[in-house]
Structure 1
Amino acid sequence: MTSGPIVRIAPDTYSIDDPDSVRILYGHGNGFIKSKWYTASGNPYIPDLFTTRDPTLHRNIRKKVASLYATSHLLRMEPIIDDCIDLLVSRFAEVADKRTQINLQHWMQCYAFDVIGYIAVGKRFGFLDKGEDTLGIFPSLHGYLKYCATMGVYSEFHSLIYNIINTVSSGGIGEIVQFSKREIDKRLLIEAQGKSEIDRDMLSEVLQLHEANPQRVTMIDIMSICVTNIGAGSDTTSISLTSVLYHLIRNPLCLEKLRAEIDQHFSTNVSGHIKFADAQKLPYLQACIKESLRVHPATGLPLGRVVPKGGVTVADTFFPEGTTLGVNTWVAHANASVFGPDALSFRPERWLDSSKEELKAMDNYFLAFGQGSRTCIGKNISLVEMTKLIPILVRNFDFRLTGPDILKNGLQCENVWFVKQNNIICDIQHRSTLKHSKGE
């Protein structure tokens, strides 16, 4: 059996594993637009940042709200994330006291949903209160992702099927839409009464933009921003957080090294909040997060792009106009010529001990948030959520895999566009208890 950088996965559709292809396929102004597959991931009648294929329309939409996603701007909302971290820590402390088992991915999804709901519209979903999906969103959203992955292949039927689904079902994205609509309507009523004192969530910001220029930032834009933030940002962040914790659990030497770094830098702040700016300065923490996103990226299908007029040569092969080419993040991140012979292993040190040339090559082929003009606009939200939470959990708790399935068969995942972990069952102990039992 031979292998190479090009695999035909469907008629006129190819998966590419070539570092030079990233610049060609995803670079600014190269004329490659998203494939039709993406259209099934959104409302066929309302364009949004993720699904729109028109580069000009995408650029115009992004310009309206790009400033809201800048890290400097998001840090105004840092207290929102701190509130959710406090809730999660309280729940985990209760679990540790009761010595019960948890589904780690489920709890990370509860956290990610409550944070993004709080950031987007100023209200948590309430999943962290008891660790329960009281609205039934998780399975419905998973079903919707299955729909997106499958219907994307038959995108010409999306409008018809979308109408039928919305007629007979309100779960998944429908529930997120209704949640967003309720909170927007409440906020508009409060604003009309002159009683609003909320000034640190994204809804308040976009409403200000709407008030300043209703034609530029419409109410449809506001709804689209809220729904996209919640629907796309929750699953991807929870998968990434789960990856970080899982790989630290499976690599105790890395965990101890990270704990030593955290303890050293936050010796006077045992259980309080950790500022993003401070956590961002911890090199091994950042390496652990980046390596976790490398070995388990949230997206698991090729990021398809359509070859423009005139065709293109990629990986020494000519592809005619209209061909769909894409790089699968999982394939790219396993490329040994870029990430080393141990590319399949979790080794955070690769981001710290590599040469400048090696780091540049790895960064250029790091696709956890996409590349180029279509880089995920919510990247900074996700990184802030992870960078603040991981040090708190690592410092205060110890996790141990206990589920018989994962102990016998290893990690099980399902790829339905997002690659979600299914069987990470573990117990939690207070780290202080562990240290006391060891006589430390």
Structure 2
Amino acid sequence: MHLAILVVAAGAVLLVRILLLFFRAVFSPLRYIPGPIATRFNNVWYLWRIGKGQFEVDNISLHREYVIVVHKTWSDPHPDRWSLFSDQNMKRHSENRRQYQGAYSMSALVTYESYVDQCADLFSQRLQEIAAAGSYTDMGHWFQCYAFDVIGLITYSKRLGFLDRGDDISGVLAALEDHLRYATLVGIFSWMHPYLLPLRNWLAGKTGTGRTYVMKFTQDRIAEHESATKAIPVDNPNADKPGDTTSVDFLTKFFSKNAEDPKKFTMYHLAMGCVSNMVAGSDTTAISLSATLYYLLKNRRVFNTLRQEIDARQQQGIVRRHISFKETQDMPYLQAVIKEALRMHPATGLPLERVVPEGGVTMCGSFFPAGTIVGINTWVSHRNTSVFGADANIFNPERWLIDDKERLAVMDRHWMPFGLGSRTCIGRHISMLEMSKLIPLLVRDFDFVLDDNLVRNEWKTTNHWFVKPRNFKVTIVVRDKPS
């Protein structure tokens, strides 16, 4: 009897949920928005497609077919535990972003160049050793080792050791990969997060897993830094003052801000600043470096043209072993190559989403009520033929070197590998610093040969928010320097 009642009750609940889904699809104010029929009922279709790891390709196809697609988004089930990336409180996000802005500004870049040079030297040494061995190597992995050690130096004044050993130090790379996959999938049904996260951490043991593991790793690095040095005085002349070139790491700057006003810049601010560097400071740059080298190797004419630009400046004595960031800004072909690589393969591969404000908004002839989540995928924007031309799907750095200011302005407005507006990536200048300095060093000092499979086919990638290459294998030859 009791079992029969339970079965009837369960059936009734299921029927109600099905009816609610049906009424939602029929009476939703978004029912006229084109898109796959399955998406009108729930997000299972979206979860399935995201789980396949190729949604940037799906999104381009969907956009061509339907023009508009509306999605759900990541949300933060712990609004008191903000981070710059996930905080949906616009006022708090703006206030907290201002707290960090100085450390990431363009004017602060000069103080980080020595850190980049140190890692570039060690990276070059590793590549020479790989060249001597004559074996294939995964450049995607080595680029992440490089980017992680740079961000470690910039954040803590300590290289984390990825370039020294060439492997995953303390499992942090695996933890980041796990975090991205988890956040990407569970973020679609974010109500599950408060239940799944404790279970995942319990199963993983005392170190936790995913982002929890990365936070623990970060706290350990902060503790090491505290034991090695004291925070600089508030009036220290090296604290983000224009024109100063002394290397001062993020953590030292954060401790200084905390000492100056611990209520305004709390220890939580300090920890979240470092965690953000760990979570976003290696994958994005490594992917962008991989994309730049990949497209250079797939397009030898472009590679040779860039090498000619670098060699000419080398022979004129304009650049030396360590190419300064300022010097790279006077290399137009280099900048066009990087810009085009980031257009072809932006690091982020899911829609950059926004919530429609009160009053709703009309876009592309359709009205979206308040609370609707809308967004554009960078991959979709960057393949727009009406903006970038009929060859938008082709790697062509020369598109950025045309003598047409109006068209360049239009392309620039649609070029968004670091996002746009108030949510633009706060670390974009550091990423460009690393890329602008390393790419010419690699092109100048080494020859690379793609694995036969990559010569014949496009590379394989996996999209879990970041679109990461898989098995970007090359052989390396140390180049004879031009006379």
Q: Provide the TM-score with structure 2 as the length reference.
A: 0.80
Percent identity for Structure 1 against Structure 2: 41
Residue 90 of structure 2 is aligned to residue 90 of structure 1: no
The one-letter amino acid of 1:238's match is: A
Per mean C-alpha deviation after superposition, the further-off stretch among 117-126 and 204-213 is: 117-126
Asked whether the equivalents of residues 73 and 373 of structure 2 are also in contact (C-alpha less than 8 Å), the reply is no
Q: Cα offset for 1:354?
A: 5.1
Per mean C-alpha deviation after superposition, the further-off stretch among 191-200 and 313-322 is: 191-200
Instruction: Tell me the alpha carbon deviations over residues 19-72 of structure 1, each in whole angstroms, 9 at most, x when there is no partner.
Output: xx9xxxxxxxxxxxx9751437xx765201111001100011011110111121
Distance 1:368-1:7 versus aligned 2 partners, 3 A rule: farther
Alpha-carbon distance between aligned partners in 2 of 1:193 and 1:364, rounded to the nearest angstrom = 41
Alignment of 1:270-349 (within 5 A): 272-349=321-398
Alpha-carbon distance between aligned partners in 2 of 1:183 and 1:134, rounded to the nearest angstrom = 13
Asked whether the equivalents of residues 301 and 328 of structure 1 are also in contact (C-alpha less than 8 Å), the reply is yes
The structure with more radius of gyration: 2
Instruction: Tell me the alpha carbon deviations over residues 230-274 of structure 1, each in whole angstroms, 9 at most, x when there is no partner.
Output: 111211110000000000001111011111111112223786111
Residue 437 of structure 2 is aligned to residue 394 of structure 1: no
Alpha-carbon distance between aligned partners in 2 of 1:415 and 1:393, rounded to the nearest angstrom = 27
Alpha-carbon distance between aligned partners in 2 of 1:372 and 1:365, rounded to the nearest angstrom = 12
Asked whether the equivalents of residues 287 and 349 of structure 1 are also in contact (C-alpha less than 8 Å), the reply is yes
Gaps of 5+ in 2: 1-32, 47-58, 239-245
Distance 1:7-1:265 versus aligned 2 partners, 3 A rule: farther
Alpha-carbon distance between aligned partners in 1 of 2:134 and 2:230, rounded to the nearest angstrom = 49
- Give the secondary structure class of the aligned counterpart of 1:426: strand
Asked whether the equivalents of residues 209 and 217 of structure 1 are also in contact (C-alpha less than 8 Å), the reply is yes
Which of 111, 114, 120 is the equivalent residue of 2:149? 114
Which of 152, 174, 177 is the equivalent residue of 2:212? 174
Residue 251 of structure 2 is aligned to residue 216 of structure 1: no
Gaps of 5+ in 1: 22-33
The one-letter amino acid of 2:266's match is: T
Q: Cα offset for 1:184?
A: 1.5
Per mean C-alpha deviation after superposition, the further-off stretch among 133-142 and 305-314 is: 133-142
What is residue 305 of structure 2 aligned with on the other side?
A: 257
Alpha-carbon distance between aligned partners in 1 of 2:34 and 2:331, rounded to the nearest angstrom = 38
The one-letter amino acid of 1:68's match is: A
What is residue 141 of structure 1 aligned with on the other side?
A: 176
Asked whether the equivalents of residues 172 and 217 of structure 2 are also in contact (C-alpha less than 8 Å), the reply is no
Asked whether the equivalents of residues 111 and 247 of structure 2 are also in contact (C-alpha less than 8 Å), the reply is no
What is residue 15 of structure 2 aligned with on the other side?
A: none
What is residue 381 of structure 1 aligned with on the other side?
A: 430
The one-letter amino acid of 1:236's match is: T
Asked whether the equivalents of residues 91 and 130 of structure 1 are also in contact (C-alpha less than 8 Å), the reply is no
What is residue 412 of structure 2 aligned with on the other side?
A: 363
Asked whether the equivalents of residues 79 and 87 of structure 2 are also in contact (C-alpha less than 8 Å), the reply is no
Per mean C-alpha deviation after superposition, the further-off stretch among 182-191 and 109-118 is: 182-191
Instruction: Tell me the alpha carbon deviations over residues 125-159 of structure 1, each in whole angstroms, 9 at most, x when there is no partner.
Output: 21101311132222332121111111111012222
Distance 1:157-1:130 versus aligned 2 partners, 3 A rule: same
Residue 76 of structure 2 is aligned to residue 39 of structure 1: yes
The one-letter amino acid of 1:249's match is: L
What is residue 134 of structure 2 aligned with on the other side?
A: 99
Higher relative contact order (CA 8 A, sep 6+): 1
- Give the secondary structure class of the aligned counterpart of 2:74: helix
Residue 474 of structure 2 is aligned to residue 426 of structure 1: yes
Distance 1:96-1:44 versus aligned 2 partners, 3 A rule: farther
What is residue 285 of structure 2 aligned with on the other side?
A: 237
In the comparison of the two structures, how many residue pairs are matched?
A: 414
Alpha-carbon distance between aligned partners in 1 of 2:289 and 2:209, rounded to the nearest angstrom = 25
Alpha-carbon distance between aligned partners in 2 of 1:160 and 1:241, rounded to the nearest angstrom = 37
Instruction: Tell me the alpha carbon deviations over residues 47-100 of structure 1, each in whole angstroms, 9 at most, x when there is no partner.
Output: 011110011000110111101111211211210111000000000011112211
Alpha-carbon distance between aligned partners in 2 of 1:10 and 1:88, rounded to the nearest angstrom = 46
Instruction: Tell me the alpha carbon deviations over residues 403-435 of structure 1, each in whole angstroms, 9 at most, x when there is no partner.
Output: x543444211111111011121110001118x7
Residue 88 of structure 2 is aligned to residue 50 of structure 1: no
Asked whether the equivalents of residues 35 and 324 of structure 1 are also in contact (C-alpha less than 8 Å), the reply is yes
Q: Provide the TM-score with structure 1 as the length reference.
A: 0.87
What is residue 416 of structure 1 aligned with on the other side?
A: 464
Q: Cα offset for 1:194?
A: 9.1
What is residue 251 of structure 2 aligned with on the other side?
A: 203
Per mean C-alpha deviation after superposition, the further-off stretch among 171-180 and 291-300 is: 171-180
Asked whether the equivalents of residues 300 and 329 of structure 1 are also in contact (C-alpha less than 8 Å), the reply is yes
Alpha-carbon distance between aligned partners in 2 of 1:320 and 1:105, rounded to the nearest angstrom = 42
What is residue 55 of structure 2 aligned with on the other side?
A: none
The one-letter amino acid of 2:347's match is: A
Alpha-carbon distance between aligned partners in 2 of 1:10 and 1:110, rounded to the nearest angstrom = 39
The one-letter amino acid of 2:74's match is: W
Distance 1:256-1:199 versus aligned 2 partners, 3 A rule: closer
What is residue 159 of structure 2 aligned with on the other side?
A: 124
Alpha-carbon distance between aligned partners in 1 of 2:403 and 2:462, rounded to the nearest angstrom = 32
Alpha-carbon distance between aligned partners in 2 of 1:71 and 1:378, rounded to the nearest angstrom = 10
Distance 1:240-1:68 versus aligned 2 partners, 3 A rule: same
Q: Cα offset for 1:101?
A: 1.1
Residue 211 of structure 2 is aligned to residue 162 of structure 1: no
What is residue 274 of structure 2 aligned with on the other side?
A: 226
Instruction: Tell me the alpha carbon deviations over residues 169-205 of structure 1, each in whole angstroms, 9 at most, x when there is no partner.
Output: 2344334322321222233334459999996111111
What is residue 25 of structure 2 aligned with on the other side?
A: none
